[in-house]
Amino acid sequence: MTGIRLHAPAPGWAIDADVVVVGSGVAGLTAALRCTAAGLRTVVVTKARLDDGSTRWAQGGIAAALGEGDTPEQHMEDTLVAGAGLCDEEAVRVLVTEGPDAVRRLIATGARFDTDAAGTIELTREGGHHRRRIAHAGGDATGAEISRALVDAVRERAVRTIENALVLDLLTDAHGRTAGVTLHVMGEGQHDGVGAVHAPAVVLATGGMGQVFSATTNPAVSTGDGVALALRAGAEVSDLEFVQFHPTVLFLGPEAEGQQPLVSEAVRGEGAHLVDADGVRFMVGQHELAELAPRDIVAKGIMRRMREQGADHMYLDARHFGAEMWESRFPTILAACRTHGFDPVTEPIPVAPAAHYASGGVRTDLRGRTTVPGLYACGEVACTGVHGANRLASNSLLEGLVFAERIADDIATTLAAPETAVPETAAPETAVPETAAPDMTDPATAGPHPHGPASAGPGPTTAPGGPEPRTATPVPHPAPRVLPLLDPAARPRVQRVMTHGAGVLRSADSLAKAAEQLDAIHGDALGGAGGSGHKTAEPGVESWETTNVLCVARVLVAAARHREETRGCHWREDRPDRDDAAWRRHLVVRLRPDRSLDVRTTATHDFPPTDRPLSHSAAGTRDPARDPARDPARDPARDPAHHPAAQAAARREQQA
Ligand SMILES: Cc1cc2nc3c(=O)[nH]c(=O)nc-3n(C[C@H](O)[C@H](O)[C@H](O)COP(=O)(O)OP(=O)(O)OC[C@H]3O[C@@H](n4cnc5c(N)ncnc54)[C@H](O)[C@@H]3O)c2cc1C
């Protein structure tokens, strides 16, 4: 616990639940549905609409060994190779073995994947996969279909949801255990609708952090809030330096900022070629899979060619698909290109790498537990060890599904155990005002409120059967260390610094400069060295997000400076080689109460690192995920490192 909190008004209202899920992408909604099915009072809090987030933008599909002749072992081998020596084999094994059934359950929930005339799921190939194993929907609209199915299911099953609500910080009880979250419900022009959801289990499913960079495929909500919140709560984060830059993002000009259209790997999977301005296929000869090499290799290939030719983009040529195939197989990408004035049917389209996926995040065990008791993380915000130094294409939707289910099962088991039941009156560390407030999330009970009516603007939605309003219990309140807020005007500066200093190409110099510039932005925004606090921004969505963006940026740069090698998607120009002897290990970062960073290097590449126990259950019982006797997944006899696939992957890595 750091005691550090974002500067925000004290909560003016509160509700109770068994579990609060933060975020409504594939990870959050899957966790919420499974928690609800287990009879847990579940509340989903999400920053924008239910379907906002990266999930709905996913194009290529979801990877799982569903095809004839494919096996989890082959999927595992490809995943381990992409992860460049830093995957946790146990986590990967969980992913690939539980993945196919998780996809089938998703289909049972209502998701409709593309099938052939016989009703068999059609599978495509993407970079790093040696087989066709990517299930897709609506051609290239897989994420939209998954999101639709999950949102429909959440509505049908009357899961309680609070939309347009930004979660600020974790609440903890006097023992440092999770006790809920504070959140700000956004009304029209309101900036003071702060409340609390009290719950002994919190699932962070806040997605990625692409908005830390100026060019990204991620939507506006991906500001790294979950990682920043977890750091403030004292949780450990890991592998943050491994940001995947998608090689083929539609190039909209050197000054373009924010979310930019992705041209899915599946386009290359179907035979599109990467060419330079002279029409030369420069990936051929660089890797056995050419354009379908793992993403980091392709991104580096593009960047190298761009540097050689002094160009700011390359081209993707898929004219040979013809109009019919473009229209049926990639309608979303075709439309995005045409919107921006390019026609892939008649011309090669300009592409360049942009920030796409955070392979690292909040460190968890195989049950999604973080180092803070009761706090879970899943989906892109989490670091389960599945991705290692680089995510294999289309493994992220699958990770969200598989680990969300595991988390829900763990919460259900933990809360059912009598010794871990949390009494209704469990007092969170942050006090709620003594006057019992109406439940602002429920239009039926929400009366006039000093912090503004919940019904104003796009306020929260309420489904029947959710938790009842809570009568607030006053508790002793240790003075929190309030984090001053950054002016939102600082955000584009942070993003530019990150793209130039900590982007696809990094070096000791570029990272040192980035760190210095981020410190300067921090200093400027806080009104001089040390930050007097007098010039800090007012609490509000933009300043909270900007503060989170800077926090994540600083941690990312610190980790990237620390890792003095090139591995996976971390490419250090000054350290061009992979150095297994020194660096086949993880970087774990924690925020100290004085706001300084504790950057620790683990002794081995094991994940979670074995030199320290991970979180314990609310009752302080031993974490079964660390105890092979209680966890068959950690039975040495089933140790995937002994598996032929893992051994083959290790051999290939050594040869590489
Ligand atoms: C363009 C694009 C294409 C992709 N294609 C693929 C693909 O083909 N296959 C694949 O496997 N992966 C793909 N990915 C990656 C994949 O989509 C994501 O990793 C995955 O969807 C993440 O799911 P999630 O549930 O963790 O987060 P998200 O879907 O991003 O959801 C995060 C949720 O958290 C909410 N949130 C964030 N902060 C807060 C806060 N402070 N308070 C409350 N709520 C908050 C957001 O509003 C959102 O609801 C793609 C990503 C992008 C951007």
Q: CA–CA separation, 206 vs 221, rounded Å?
A: 9
pLDDT digit string, tens, across residues 361-417:
999 999 999 999 999 999 999 999 999 999 998 999 999 999 999 999 999 999 988
Between 621 and 96, the more confident residue is 96
What is the CATH classification number for the domain harbouring 266? 3.90.700.10
Q: CA–CA separation, 582 vs 104, rounded Å?
A: 42
pLDDT digit string, tens, across residues 499-550:
999 998 899 999 999 999 999 998 877 665 444 444 688 999 999 999 999 9
Q: Can you say whether residue 34 is alpha, beta or left, with left for phi > 0 and alpha for psi between -120 and 50 degrees?
A: alpha
| Cβ neighbours, 10 Å, residue 443 | 14
pLDDT of residue 294: 77
pLDDT of residue 59: 86
Q: For residue 577, how far is the Cα from the chain centroid?
A: 28
> Judging by DSSP bridges, how do beta strands 237-238 and 361-363 pair with one another?
antiparallel
Tell me the CA–centroid distance for residue 107 and ligand 1, in Å: 19
Same domain flag for 342 and 363? no
Q: CA–CA separation, 101 vs 581, rounded Å?
A: 38
pLDDT of residue 609: 64
Same domain flag for 345 and 376? no
**Number of domains present in the structure of the chain:** 4
Same domain flag for 67 and 146? yes
Tell me the CA–centroid distance for residue 417 and ligand 1, in Å: 32
Same domain flag for 490 and 554? yes
Domain for residue 499, yes or no?
A: yes
| pLDDT band at residue 649 under the 50/70/90 scheme | very low
What token pair was written down for 171? 């609440």
pLDDT of residue 179: 97
Whether the CA torsion 653, 265, 571, 76 is positive or negative: it is: negative
| Nearest residue to 175 via CA among 432, 429, 478 | 429
Between 209 and 419, the more confident residue is 209
| Nearest residue to 360 via CA among 515, 538, 555, 549 | 555
Q: Active site residue: 133, 177, 268, 295, which one?
A: 295
Same domain flag for 233 and 93? yes
Q: Which residue among 551, 583, 615 closes a domain? A: 583
> Is 396 close to ligand 1, i.e. is its CB under 6 Å away?
yes
Same domain flag for 408 and 429? yes
Same domain flag for 263 and 168? no
Is 295 among the catalytic positions? yes
> Is 145 close to ligand 1, i.e. is its CB under 6 Å away?
no
> Is 397 close to ligand 1, i.e. is its CB under 6 Å away?
yes
Which range, of 36-45, 335-344, 393-402, 620-629, averages the lowest pLDDT?
A: 620-629
Residue whose CA is at the smallest distance from ligand 1 atom 9:
394
Domain enclosing residue 499, as ranges: 484-583
Instruction: Provide the percentage of residues in the chain whose pLDDT is more than 70.
Output: 81
Q: Are 163 and 151 in contact (CB under 8 A)?
A: no
pLDDT of residue 285: 92
> Is 127 close to ligand 1, i.e. is its CB under 6 Å away?
no
Residue 58: pLDDT over 50: yes
Residue 399 CA: which ligand 1 atom is closest?
A: 11
| pLDDT band at residue 635 under the 50/70/90 scheme | very low
pTM: 0.84
- Cis before 467 (ω within 30): no
Q: What is the mean pLDDT of residues 151-165?
A: 96
Tell me the CA–centroid distance for residue 54 and ligand 1, in Å: 3
> Is 224 close to ligand 1, i.e. is its CB under 6 Å away?
no
Beta bridge pairs of residue 363: 383
Residue 554: pLDDT over 80: yes
Q: Are 86 and 586 in contact (CB under 8 A)?
A: yes
Domain for residue 590, yes or no?
A: no
Residue 63 CA: which ligand 1 atom is closest?
A: 11
Mutational test site, ligand 1, from 55, 222, 546, max ligand atoms within 8 Å of CB? 55
Q: Are 365 and 610 in contact (CB under 8 A)?
A: no
Q: What is the mean pLDDT of residues 5-14?
A: 93
pLDDT of residue 627: 37
Q: Which residue among 317, 335, 353 closes a domain? A: 353
Ranges of H-type helices in 162-294: 225-232, 265-269
pLDDT of residue 529: 44
Q: CA–CA separation, 641 vs 646, rounded Å?
A: 5
Domain for residue 607, yes or no?
A: no
| Nearest residue to 403 via CA among 440, 362, 454 | 362
What contacts 524, CB < 8 A, 6 or more positions away?
490
| pLDDT band at residue 606 under the 50/70/90 scheme | confident
Same domain flag for 40 and 70? yes
What's the whole-number average pLDDT of the chain? 84
Q: Are 411 and 446 in contact (CB under 8 A)?
A: no
pLDDT of residue 625: 38
Same domain flag for 327 and 345? yes
Sheet holding 42-45, edge to edge: 160-162, 42-45, 19-22, 201-204, 375-377
Residue 655: pLDDT over 80: no
What is the CATH classification number for the domain harbouring 434? 3.50.50.60
pLDDT digit string, tens, across residues 207-260:
999 999 999 999 999 999 999 999 999 999 999 999 999 999 999 988 888 899
Which range, of 86-90, 142-146, 503-507, 523-527, averages the lowest pLDDT?
A: 523-527
| pLDDT band at residue 479 under the 50/70/90 scheme | low
Same domain flag for 338 and 462? no
Beta bridge pairs of residue 481: 4
Transcribe 389-404 into DSSP letters. TSPPTTHHHHHHHHHH
What token pair was written down for 643? 């598996």
Beta bridge pairs of residue 351: 250, 314
Residue whose CA is at the smallest distance from ligand 1 atom 14:
58
Which range, of 47-56, 152-161, 392-401, 532-541, averages the lowest pLDDT?
A: 532-541
Same domain flag for 42 and 148? yes
Tell me the CA–centroid distance for residue 51 and ligand 1, in Å: 10
Q: Which residue among 583, 602, 632 closes a domain? A: 583
Residue 429: pLDDT over 60: no
> Is 66 close to ligand 1, i.e. is its CB under 6 Å away?
no
Helices (H) and strands (E) in the chain, counts: 15, 25
Tell me the CA–centroid distance for residue 310 and ligand 1, in Å: 34
pLDDT of residue 182: 97
Transcribe 618-638 into DSSP letters. TT----GGG-TTT-GGG-GGG
Residue 442: pLDDT over 90: no
Q: Are 515 and 494 in contact (CB under 8 A)?
A: no
Same domain flag for 202 and 316? no
Classify residue 589 as exposed, middle or buried by CB count within 10 Å of its CB (0-12, 13-18, 19+). buried
> Is 541 close to ligand 1, i.e. is its CB under 6 Å away?
no
Domain for residue 605, yes or no?
A: no
Residue 598: pLDDT over 90: yes
